[in-house]
Amino acid sequence: MRFKDRFEAGQKLATLLVNYRHKSTAVLLAVPPGGVPVAFEIAKHLGLPIDISLVKNLTIPHCEDNTADVVGVIDAYGVATLNPNIESVLMASPKQINQAISKARSELSQDNAMYRGKKRPRPLQNKHLILVDDGLSTGDTMVSIITALKRFQPTYITVAVPIASSQALKRIEQIADEVVCAFKPKQFDDIRSWYIDFSLPQEQLLL
């Protein structure tokens, strides 16, 4: 099974989330950038309000192979949440952590301006949050996001993704109230390989 693009993936997820159509306490939170077109399609079909995830990844780069580990997140209020279960957190220096926080704050400001403009974030307290991304590989990012969002005391957290590895699903199921996944392949390579067109929309999707 492969999705034509992120919009088709969102349409599929909408059929699995139909019980939440027009639910007054539900808020879709898209994880930028890939989760935004997926969430827009869900919002269109189910009549739910949409916002972007109010957090940004904290990443520690690896000099030797040009990769990076997601070690936590920072929310829109500047509060950083580190994931103590990730080995890179224990190995990182205070300077590396501070650099990651500074970089994430800058990216968060750019995302807010790009997707939200001058609109204020939606209130999340006592809300049913439906977190939407275009897929889960390791689950590191989503674990960090859920950990940070629990500070806002939502009543329920649903994670909705088109595709996910079994490893990621097991991790997310332990900390989210519900996980909705359209396709769970036995063999998982990467998220990109499950989309025919993995490019992002040329026109910016505004909240």
**CATH assignment of the domain containing 150:** 3.40.50.2020
Judgement on whether residues 111 and 27 belong to the same structural domain of the protein: no
Judgement on whether residues 131 and 37 belong to the same structural domain of the protein: yes
| Number of structural domains in the chain | 2
Of 115, 137, 157, the position where a domain reaches its end is 115
Of 115, 134, 158, the position where a domain reaches its end is 115
Whether the model pTM is above 0.75: yes
Considering the domain boundaries, does residue 206 fall inside one?
A: no
**Is 131's pLDDT higher than 90?**
yes
Judgement on whether residues 17 and 78 belong to the same structural domain of the protein: no
Judgement on whether residues 47 and 61 belong to the same structural domain of the protein: no
What domain range is 130 assigned to? 6-53+125-194
Judgement on whether residues 173 and 74 belong to the same structural domain of the protein: no
Contacting residues for 88 by C-beta, under 8 A, at least 6 apart? 60, 69, 71
**Is 90's pLDDT higher than 70?**
no
Judgement on whether residues 184 and 131 belong to the same structural domain of the protein: yes
166-186: string of b/e by CB count within 10 Å (b at 16+)? eebbebbeeebeebbbbeeee
**Amino acid identity for residue 59 in this structure:** T
Question: HSE-up of 153 (CA within 13 Å, CB side)?
Answer: 2
Instruction: Tell me the β-bridge partners of 59.
Output: 70
Q: Residue 153 has what pLDDT?
A: 94
Considering the domain boundaries, does residue 103 fall inside one?
A: yes
**Is 63's pLDDT higher than 60?**
no
Judgement on whether residues 45 and 142 belong to the same structural domain of the protein: yes
**Is 132's pLDDT higher than 80?**
yes
pLDDT tens-digit profile of 145-163?
Answer: 898 889 889 999 999 999 9
Judgement on whether residues 190 and 145 belong to the same structural domain of the protein: yes
- Mean predicted confidence (pLDDT) in 113-123: 82
Judgement on whether residues 184 and 150 belong to the same structural domain of the protein: yes
Judgement on whether residues 69 and 86 belong to the same structural domain of the protein: yes
- Mean predicted confidence (pLDDT) in 170-186: 95
